[in-house]
Amino acid sequence: MKAQSLLLLTAAIGAQACQREHDWNKRRMIKRQEIDTSLATLDENEQLLVDSFDATSIAEWSYYYTHGDHIAGRNKSMAEWTAMKWEEGGFTTRLDEYYVYLNYPVSQSISLTLSNGSTIEAQLVEDILEEDSVTSYPNRIPVFHGYSASGDASAEYVYVGRGQQVDFDRLVALGVELEGKIAVARYGGPFRGLKVKNAQDHGMIGAVIFSDPGDDGNTTEAKGVAAYPDGPARNPTSVQRGSVMFLSTYPGDPTTPGYVSKEGVPRADKSNSVPRIPSIPISWLDAQPILSALNGFGTAGTEVNRTNWVGAIPGVEYYTGEGSGATISMSNKMEDNYTTIWNTVGIINGTNQDEVIIVGNHRDAWIIGGAADPNSGSAVLIELSKAFGKLLETGWKPARTIVLASWDAEEYGLVGSTEWVEEYIPWLKNAAVSYLNIDVAVSGPMPDFSATPDMHAISREIMKKVIWPYRNTTDRTLFDVWSTESGGEIGVLGSGSDYTAFLHRGIAAIDMGAGGGPGDPIYPYHSNYDSYHWMDTFGDPGFVHHKAMGQYLTLLLYHLATDEVLPLNPQDYVPELKAYFAELEDVVAEYGSDNTTLDLSELESAISTFEEYSSQFVSLRQFAIDSKNRDLITVQNHKARDFSRGFTSQGGLPEREFYQNLIFAPGLDTGYAPVTYPGVTESITFRDDWEAAQEWVSKTARAIEVAAAMLKT
Ligand SMILES: *[C@@H]1O[C@H](CO)[C@@H](O)[C@H](O)[C@H]1NC(C)=O
Ligand SMILES: *[C@@H]1O[C@H](CO)[C@@H](O)[C@H](O)[C@H]1NC(C)=O
Ligand SMILES: *[C@@H]1O[C@H](CO)[C@@H](O)[C@H](O)[C@H]1NC(C)=O
Ligand SMILES: *[C@@H]1O[C@H](CO)[C@@H](O)[C@H](O)[C@H]1NC(C)=O
Ligand SMILES: *[C@@H]1O[C@H](CO)[C@@H](O)[C@H](O)[C@H]1NC(C)=O
Ligand SMILES: *[C@@H]1O[C@H](CO)[C@@H](O)[C@H](O)[C@H]1NC(C)=O
Ligand SMILES: *[C@@H]1O[C@H](CO)[C@@H](O)[C@H](O)[C@H]1NC(C)=O
Ligand SMILES: CC(=O)N[C@H]1CO[C@H](CO)[C@@H](O)[C@@H]1O
Ligand SMILES: [Zn+2]
């Protein structure tokens, strides 16, 4: 199997809400003179919505969410409080409960034995900071991996880089023995669960995953920047918790693939979607002695010749480590639990009940705080509900039904949203117009969006209606800052947050948020320091970005729910489908050999058909508008709502039935980052199966034709 590096050529790597890894180096430099920087005029309703936003109240909601345990399945009162706040804004609310498999930490330990017999215990706790009250809560949550396997492992260990399949291929090529060893992997790159899966697939018996200041650019202590709480660099003891589910195979409750988790339902074997070997996350401080014990043994980091292999932990040379004589003894004890989770759901009925816009944010966090992930989004949604409450008071009614969702158990593997979609799929297939996701609304000042192509135009238009307070300026629009500072490209949706179940049932979706760019404070993702204090001091002092992101989401929702002509543009799929096609041709050229053939003409012709019918759609929609033909506008609105269902295939992608969208999917070995035309691309890059690739060309072409047919006049 060859390297997957090409998959990352996809135009934009995309925003992945629970984890954003935007490659800021790749951003296009757009000059401000080249774009429209003026603030668009707002109508009365838009103005009322925008003016309703208050940073001080957002800070108050944030404070509430970030001062109590709200790991999945453990804080019903927070779900109820959310419902109460939304009720105040005029939403009718309820809690939707599911009975799901989760596991909670009991005890974790790692001890290192050096070749001379000395032992060192890993600290495995983050420092208590006087400035940050939640870091000393007696019920603060241990460092662990959600859905990790209970077990002990004691063995020599190997440094495996980011732990992607290509990293393991490299180790195998170097002749490093992996069987029976423990993997020590660096965070970043693929979703953490896939690092553990790859280790397990190579016969390894445990995995330890560490954070590395090498991912922090110039904002490191080694380069003279103070660490949190004194400065914006990473605190050396901070640990990234997180799920180790095999996210690219299946999200949702791993014991109920494809059906709703209620009490009493049959439970499936989960071994294909969660690891069998134990894993534990550690800080870079704990990683330092473990990795430096490998210095001089095996192949030096610089000789391994893999990108991102060498990090920046002082004193560590990132050797592979065979023959060091050092061993790790790890123990991971988890408690398995079937337990209730609560999605808060709030509804304002629209006049057209067969058209629904869903806005979702998850509520559960790995830590007491969660000020960025996910509760910056939660705080924003309360302010949004208040804004719509004010609009309702003026007598306004939405044309389309609005559903707000506060998902539980996203962190374990998109559980609350996936189970909900599985429960309501008949209704959603008929009525869902689009799904708007806001997970980490703010962890820095750089706005970032990923969306299905039909939402690109409206997403950009709304950016012109909001001021984005970038680096102390107060007169730049979100569109201006996004275009010139963040690169001005809307990403492709992969996975990593709650839009996944919607996207893979053919529903238009957008994911939004703002993160840190080079030089910005290091976001302490999934650590105890993702706290209110960090947010207020470094992430978003004054909560100004929270406010602006909330205004954006509110206006986007307002237009989707109100505009007589549904603001979705199916025709905007055309340039994207063509760009993905060009990328696929590159993949074929790169991976093909003399005896491989792949005929892409069916796909090319399907894209042409789509182009033709979508342009018929545009003409007829314009005719309906010009002739003020309401019935015809409704017909066209329904086409815009429905056509993307055509991109899905009942049977799903090869060996992953859940992932039905044949245009984009999370990469099998990336988990977060997207792959386009995944059936074809991964048959080539993963399986080297050109016959299968040819079949997937046909299946993908047929899906595009089905979507096209729905747009036909
Ligand atoms: C639930 O969250 C709230 C708000 O953060 C907190 O006050 C409360 O203590 C939490 N409940 C539990 C049982 O931890
Ligand atoms: C073993 O080696 C480590 C690292 O070089 C050193 O710090 C420690 O003192 C040594 N222990 C003994 C018992 O020699
Ligand atoms: C770090 O600083 C150096 C020197 O100022 C600069 O060239 C480089 O681009 C910076 N790197 C990042 C990731 O910001
Ligand atoms: C890594 O690449 C360098 C330069 O091409 C080469 O000299 C070296 O042998 C390579 N290392 C290994 C372990 O293959
Ligand atoms: C909204 O519409 C649904 C379906 O018609 C109905 O069951 C529900 O009672 C309505 N809710 C409100 C608050 O009017
Ligand atoms: C914003 O202004 C404050 C106060 O003048 C200053 O301390 C801070 O460094 C400025 N921030 C940026 C990003 O320029
Ligand atoms: C291509 O054909 C040659 C000769 O028949 C064979 O040795 C080689 O393994 C084939 N390569 C692939 C990728 O199938
Ligand atoms: C730790 C934990 O949440 N344990 C729960 C496991 O499930 C049972 C039944 O649902 C609960 O009573 C426990 O509290
Ligand atoms: Zn999240």
State the CATH number of the domain containing residue 89.
Answer: 3.40.630.10
Closest atom of ligand 1 to 139 CA is 14
Q: How crowded is residue 518: how many other Cβ atoms within 10 Å of its Cβ?
A: 11
Q: Domain check: are 97 and 108 in the same one?
A: no
Residue 666: which H helix or E strand, with range? strand 664-666
Binning pLDDT at 50, 70 and 90, where does residue 276 land? very high
Q: Domain check: are 544 and 630 in the same one?
A: no
Which carries the bigger pLDDT value, residue 655 or residue 478? Answer: 478
Residue 88 lies in a domain: yes
Residue 1 lies in a domain: no
Q: What is the mean pLDDT of residues 617-633?
A: 98
Specify the pLDDT at position 18. 64
d(CA 661, CA 645): 9
Q: How far is ligand 7, taken at its centre, from the CA of residue 670, in Å?
A: 29
Specify the pLDDT at position 32. 78
Q: Domain check: are 597 and 690 in the same one?
A: yes
Q: Domain check: are 212 and 307 in the same one?
A: yes
Question: For the chain, what is the domain count?
Answer: 3
- Would the pLDDT of 10 be above 80? no
- Would the pLDDT of 14 be above 70? no
Tokens representing 8 are: 């990352």
Specify the pLDDT at position 19. 57
For 327-380, the pLDDT digits (tens) are: 999 999 999 999 999 999 999 999 998 999 999 999 999 999 999 999 999 999
Where does ligand 5 bind, in terms of residues with CB under 6 Å?
A: 92, 349, 353
Query: Atom 12 in ligand 7: which residue has the minimum CA distance?
Result: 595
d(CA 563, CA 232): 43
Amino acid at 200: Q
Ligand nearest to the CA of 101: 8
Q: Domain check: are 552 and 589 in the same one?
A: no
Residue 295 lies in a domain: yes
Is the distance from CB of 234 to CB of 524 less than 8 angstroms?
yes
33 Cβ closer than 6 Å to some ligand 6 atom: no
Spatial CB neighbours of 266, under 8 Å, sequence gap ≥ 6: none
Active-site residue (options: 410, 419, 422, 583)? 410
For 665-707, the pLDDT digits (tens) are: 999 888 788 999 999 999 999 999 999 999 999 999 999 999 9
Specify the pLDDT at position 21. 55
- Would the pLDDT of 11 be above 50? no
Domain ends where: 562, 593, 628? Answer: 562
Q: How far is ligand 6, taken at its centre, from the CA of residue 468, in Å?
A: 15
- Would the pLDDT of 62 be above 90? yes
Residue 256 lies in a domain: yes
For 30-47, the pLDDT digits (tens) are: 787 788 889 999 999 999
Percent pLDDT > 90 in the chain is 91
Q: Domain check: are 348 and 248 in the same one?
A: no
Specify the pLDDT at position 22. 61
Q: Domain check: are 554 and 613 in the same one?
A: no
- Would the pLDDT of 7 be above 60? no
Domain ends where: 334, 350, 371? Answer: 334
State the CATH number of the domain containing residue 254.
Answer: 3.50.30.30
Specify the pLDDT at position 353. 87
Q: Domain check: are 325 and 299 in the same one?
A: yes
Q: How far is ligand 3, taken at its centre, from the CA of residue 229, in Å?
A: 23
Q: Which residues surround ligand 9, an ion (CB under 5 A)?
A: 18, 373-374, 439
What's the predicted TM-score (pTM) here?
Answer: 0.95
Ligand nearest to the CA of 72: 8
518 Cβ closer than 6 Å to some ligand 3 atom: yes
Q: Domain check: are 285 and 138 in the same one?
A: yes
Is the distance from CB of 556 to CB of 390 less than 8 angstroms?
no
- To test ligand 3's pocket by mutation, which of 24, 218, 220 has the most ligand atoms within 8 angstroms of CB? 218
d(CA 385, CA 348): 10
Residue 15 lies in a domain: no
Q: Domain check: are 111 and 46 in the same one?
A: no
Q: For residue 697, give its domain range.
A: 570-711
Taking Cα atoms as reference points, which of 496, 247, 254, 250 lies closest to residue 362? Answer: 496
For 225-239, the pLDDT digits (tens) are: 999 999 999 999 999
Q: Domain check: are 482 and 540 in the same one?
A: yes
Specify the pLDDT at position 37. 85
Which carries the bigger pLDDT value, residue 8 or residue 120? Answer: 120
Taking Cα atoms as reference points, which of 531, 486, 516 lies closest to residue 215? Answer: 516
For 146-191, the pLDDT digits (tens) are: 999 999 999 999 999 999 999 999 999 999 999 999 999 999 999 9
- Would the pLDDT of 255 be above 70? yes
Residue 161 falls in which region: left (phi positive, over 0), alpha (psi -120 to 50) or beta? left
Query: Atom 8 in ligand 5: which residue has the minimum CA distance?
Result: 349
| Coil vs helix vs strand at 675 | strand
Spatial CB neighbours of 118, under 8 Å, sequence gap ≥ 6: none
394 Cβ closer than 6 Å to some ligand 7 atom: no
State the CATH number of the domain containing residue 623.
Answer: 1.20.930.40
Specify the pLDDT at position 713. 82
Specify the pLDDT at position 16. 39
Percent pLDDT > 70 in the chain is 96
Residue 423 lies in a domain: no
Q: How far is ligand 5, taken at its centre, from the CA of residue 401, in Å?
A: 10
For 199-248, the pLDDT digits (tens) are: 999 999 999 999 999 999 999 999 999 999 999 999 999 999 999 999 88
- Would the pLDDT of 49 be above 90? yes
For 545-575, the pLDDT digits (tens) are: 999 999 999 999 999 999 999 999 999 999 9
- To test ligand 1's pocket by mutation, which of 60, 66, 67, 532 has the most ligand atoms within 8 angstroms of CB? 67
Residue 14 lies in a domain: no
Residue 352 lies in a domain: yes
Which carries the bigger pLDDT value, residue 397 or residue 36? Answer: 397
Domain ends where: 546, 562, 578? Answer: 562
303 Cβ closer than 6 Å to some ligand 4 atom: yes
Binning pLDDT at 50, 70 and 90, where does residue 13 land? very low
- Would the pLDDT of 17 be above 70? no
Q: Output Rg (C-alpha) for the chain, integer angstroms.
A: 25
| 221 carries an active-site annotation | no
Q: Domain check: are 219 and 367 in the same one?
A: no
